[in-house]
Amino acid sequence: MEAHISPGTIERLEEQSALLQRIYQAEFAKDPTSPATESSRSNMIALRHSINQIYGEAAASDVVHGCSTSRSC
């Protein structure tokens, strides 16, 4: 059973996901193989995994897809 996720929570998770994406992109642009790039990527994966564990796979997918279509990402 998937947990209910409120619009406010989705918005906050999208903002966090967008922030982690921007950090990753900035680190990747500096050095794609650096420890900072690897750490940034790990943080993005960890957030998605946490959302998946708490709210379910559909919610994790919604947050990622919402971020990819939002202006703030």
CA 5, 23, 65, 32 torsion: positive or negative?
negative
CB hemisphere CA count around 58 (13 angstroms): 5
- Residue-level pLDDT at 6: 84
56 — alpha (psi -120 to 50), left (phi > 0) or beta? left
Mean pLDDT of 29-36: 97
| Residue type for position 27 | E
pTM over 0.85: no
- Residue-level pLDDT at 54: 87
Proportion of the chain above pLDDT 90, given as a percent: 49
> Residue ranges per domain, the chain?
7-69
Mean pLDDT of 53-68: 75
